[in-house]
Structure 1
């Protein structure tokens, strides 16, 4: 193994570049959420059909997490990241020039699969950083990812107001190519030794991790269910705001700026987890998630209550997500990339399920149906948390030690 002293040092400009690239990749999957009403109108499809693009983006991202992120343990992550970003740029370009819904769906799917470059960059940064700066570097890049997701909806709405709904996809395609070139020129070659295992063996190890680590299963399920709950709203809010309150794409996009407050909850949850109070952070976030559905229900006809509920929901989601990550990353440090793949795959599958359910209940039952579905997912999240709390018993946590011991006789 290469000693840490021989690795190139990451200066602040490179870290910020990686953070920006991560935010652009992840945020690209959220461009469509404030634009659904305009997409439905301009491409001559129903609102529920337009909303299917949200599910397509999330399912595609989940596939990329399973099929592509683990490859980072096998190849040069610099080459992998740049290649994925260029392919994601192609998907954004196809979306931007789509003449019909089928083409748009293909473009969004391609962009979604390859946008997992974001999840390759994060462990790459951790491997390049000096030990005393690793947490700071990863934290900065994770902040870039979060901010990119939060700003994506607002930027999409603003650009739609200037040049139509497809503008954001065209701009994103150009920016991703520029960012890929910048990363190629700035990042060092990832030349460290790697286990000589096949691609299929690497994928199979994901199943071994999920099977052997109960804490990974419960935390992944909690993340997926919480994201499903909030995604019921993310998928249908454009229809509510456009129909009930007469908002245009720009105004709908600006609502997404409320989510910036989620970054503050991420910081609070991270600090609590660092102090050994991850369960407290999780419990507080889940309480907020349960409570937000009352103002959401009232918000169907009162805008102020909707905005309050939207803020609370995003705070809750970030609190659950960050406390989950803090716990799972400590389970098997040497398999952190694959642990992340298992968790994030479940996380975005949950989002896809929530989006699909939200679209169906909106069509059949309106906003009240969306709120009931979101509340049901939230209650399920709390139920899984109660199971997870039992795993705090050191005896029950022996699964990770068992996996590490067994891994000595096989490659992770």
Structure 2
């Protein structure tokens, strides 16, 4: 089964689209159910879904299997809050940095492993090996993770999803950080999605294993995540703050404009990330210099508190 550049990029988009749905629909379940069981279930499901692309006979099955795999691959995002819960308050930044270093290194070095495995046994070998590794991780989590119960058991699942949307609505900082993260991930995917297309064609003509080794260049950046967590523990989180749409746009831009247009797209995503971060810092700084805005009820509260009989709980005239 051979895939053209557009369909190949679409598989990346399918994986990340499924991953995005998993973040929205599955990760919040950590507030409802026991978290070790959730993490183990997600890793086990990922191992099963990886068998679908491993045995795919056509591009449609490959896309469906990739999307399902992405949906349950959010198990790592359940493990991160578990690590935060188990860490001491003064060490949480370092612990999260260490865990994120593992995640980023895995994302980058997976390309190296993909190249080596593809060269040795074909592209399906990647999925078979990955399925075995996910099953192994599920077993290790089941053995070594302590039980951690969700603290929102009184919520229904629809209510949980509504509360997630409400957080995005009422927390401006969360919206800013979501935008920054989306653009950062888009710029990351623009590079790594198009890079394979560039290196496989003339004048480079690299093999799959050689292209995989190119991912080692990005490993140095991933290692900084563990270092970045330490200033966060000391209250300097802004010093270390830096999608799916990235890989989807890459396939379109590559087809119509080539590598130069891809570079422009990546630069635009990176510039957007910097612009959003700068605007967020300006707005937060201005808000810190203003007195808090009080509602009418809050403005009337001091007057009611000073009324006769309020302190003793006795109403006037009685």
TM-score, with normalisation over the residues of structure 1?
Answer: 0.66
Match of 1:234 among 166, 181, 192: 192
Superposed displacement of residue 95, structure 1 = 1.4
Out of 367-376 and 56-65, give the one that drifted further.
Answer: 367-376
CA RMSD of aligned residues (A): 2.4
Matches within 5 A, 1:88-99: 88-99=46-57
What's 1:30 paired with?
none
The alignment status of 1:169 with 2:127, answered yes or no, reads: yes
Change in CA separation of 1:213 and 1:185 when aligned onto 2, cut-off 3 Å: same
> What SS class does the counterpart of residue 393 from structure 1 fall into?
helix
What's 1:363 paired with?
255
Matches within 5 A, 1:95-244: 95-131=53-89, 134-191=92-149, 193-244=151-202
Match of 1:250 among 199, 209, 213: 209
- Cα distance between partner residues in 1 of 2:228 and 2:140: 33
> What SS class does the counterpart of residue 123 from structure 2 fall into?
coil
Q: Deviations over 1:89-125 (max 9, x none)?
A: 1111111121211111111111100011111111123
What's 2:287 paired with?
395
Change in CA separation of 1:125 and 1:381 when aligned onto 2, cut-off 3 Å: closer
- Cα distance between partner residues in 2 of 1:401 and 1:161: 63
What's 1:57 paired with?
15
Superposed displacement of residue 133, structure 1 = 5.2
Superposed displacement of residue 276, structure 1 = 4.6
What's 1:305 paired with?
none
- Cα distance between partner residues in 2 of 1:73 and 1:166: 36
Change in CA separation of 1:46 and 1:380 when aligned onto 2, cut-off 3 Å: same
Change in CA separation of 1:378 and 1:126 when aligned onto 2, cut-off 3 Å: closer
Matches within 5 A, 1:278-317: 278-282=237-241
- Cα distance between partner residues in 2 of 1:360 and 1:133: 43
Q: Conserved in 2, the CA contact under 8 Å of 1:215 and 1:391?
A: no
- Cα distance between partner residues in 2 of 1:229 and 1:131: 32
Superposed displacement of residue 192, structure 1 = 6.1
Q: Conserved in 2, the CA contact under 8 Å of 1:70 and 1:202?
A: yes
Counting matched residue pairs gives 292
> What SS class does the counterpart of residue 201 from structure 2 fall into?
helix
Q: Conserved in 2, the CA contact under 8 Å of 1:91 and 1:109?
A: no
Greater C-alpha Rg: 2
- Cα distance between partner residues in 1 of 2:2 and 2:119: 19
The alignment status of 1:72 with 2:26, answered yes or no, reads: no
- Cα distance between partner residues in 1 of 2:68 and 2:43: 11
Q: Deviations over 1:355-394 (max 9, x none)?
A: 1111001111111111111122222222212211113327
Q: Conserved in 2, the CA contact under 8 Å of 1:232 and 1:355?
A: yes
Q: Which ranges of structure 2 fall in alignment gaps of 5 or more residues?
A: 295-318
Q: Deviations over 1:10-43 (max 9, x none)?
A: xxxxxxxxxxxxxxxxxxxxxxxxxxxxxxxxx2
What's 2:218 paired with?
259
TM-score, with normalisation over the residues of structure 2?
Answer: 0.84
Out of 165-174 and 222-231, give the one that drifted further.
Answer: 222-231
Change in CA separation of 1:77 and 1:233 when aligned onto 2, cut-off 3 Å: same
> What SS class does the counterpart of residue 395 from structure 1 fall into?
helix
Q: Conserved in 2, the CA contact under 8 Å of 1:122 and 1:141?
A: yes
Q: Deviations over 1:164-201 (max 9, x none)?
A: 11111100111111221222122222246544011111
What's 1:376 paired with?
268
Q: Which ranges of structure 1 fall in alignment gaps of 5 or more residues?
A: 1-42, 283-319, 321-350, 403-412
- Cα distance between partner residues in 2 of 1:184 and 1:397: 49
Change in CA separation of 1:209 and 1:192 when aligned onto 2, cut-off 3 Å: closer
Q: Conserved in 1, the CA contact under 8 Å of 2:95 and 2:229?
A: no
